[in-house]
Amino acid sequence: MDQATQSLEEKLSSGCASCGHTIIEPGYPTPLCKDCRTKFIRFPIPLPIKIFAGAVALALLVSMYRLPGNFSVAVHYKRGTAAVKNRNYLTAQKELGEVIKRLPGYDDAKEYQAIAAYYNQDLSTFVTLVNQLQGKEVKNESLYGRINNLVDRLDGYVPADSLMNLCERYHSFDSIPDSSYRRYIANHNSEQFAAARYATFLLDHKQYHQCDSILDALLHNDPEYFHALSIKTGLKRELHEFDSAHYYCDRILQINHESAYGIASKARTYFKEKKDAEGMKWALKDMDLRKDDAYSLATLALAYHLTNNTVERDKLVDAAKKDSTQTESMQYITDIISGKEKFR
């Protein structure tokens, strides 16, 4: 008898390893009777192991469910940050807005969106985001410095309390007398907003040379000051200095490639030159980017008026009557339609 045969016989003679029954089921390395072997095969899984396995399965299911959403957020974030880098701020604000909608506590997205909002002149959103970021750690030092710089420049877009007091005395900025404007600016010569408002006043009163001098001074101090650049485009159109008008439109678009104002102003410059096909192309391009901007809608209404599409023009004019945010921008167009203002 060899060793293997002897070992097997010893196991068989010792009985069931579980209950000691003398008759075991042959053919298995562990000697067990048939009943015990069946019991062990069907042995229940302990409850803690079941709970643990269930938790793992649930986590896997949740992960599988959330994966498309998480992937989508990552895509929006990547597009948004790339758009900020490429100065496509309208795209950036939309993409990062999707990120923040799904992950409201994602501060990195808010930092980039604050920059986009500033350059889109959406200053209320910019201020809201900056307030939300107060006291939060900004890991990217260059990003932190950039946002701080924009906060410092915000004063140029907000009237000082003293200017608001003057405005309230005369009920509106446009009603402040020329002498009062000049006296105020002489006493507050560091206020960009006041100087820009006075430049607008001078443009409206066709005092072009004085207007140009103030805008030059503003842009000397801040070459990216949006208010001054935007007033310059209108001023140069009125002077029929179309190359200069395009130059200032292009400067706006260099700062923000998707500036609704920059694109619409370029359209108006082409229309002023009587280059209607080119003007219409830019007006429609503006609508492709942003369909709710008052100045852009007014520009498209002007485009339809100049190209004799009165049906579409009147649709826009009628819609503006129901939207107070469009009233001021559309008023200029209705004055052109009625003959009160002459565009060209």
With contact defined as beta carbons under 8 Å apart, do 158 and 193 qualify? yes
End-to-end CA distance of the chain: 119
Distance (Å, whole) CA 242 – CA 278:
14
- 150: CB partners within 8 A, 6+ apart: 114, 115, 118, 126
Per-residue model confidence (pLDDT) at position 162: 95
Per-residue model confidence (pLDDT) at position 18: 59
Per-residue model confidence (pLDDT) at position 344: 87
**Average pLDDT of the segment spanning 187-212:** 95
With contact defined as beta carbons under 8 Å apart, do 284 and 304 qualify? no
Which segments of the chain belong to CATH 1.25.40.10? 159-257
CA distances from 117 to 99, 149, 209, 314 (A): 15, 14, 33, 32
Give the tens place of pLDDT for each residue, 223-280. Answer: 999 999 999 999 999 999 999 999 999 999 999 999 999 999 999 999 999 999 999 9
Distance (Å, whole) CA 75 – CA 95:
9
CATH of segment(s) 159-257: 1.25.40.10
Per-residue model confidence (pLDDT) at position 229: 98
Distance (Å, whole) CA 96 – CA 73:
9
Q: Which ranges in 239-339 belong to alpha helices (H)? A: 242-255, 260-272, 276-289, 294-306, 310-321, 327-338
CATH of segment(s) 72-155: 1.25.40
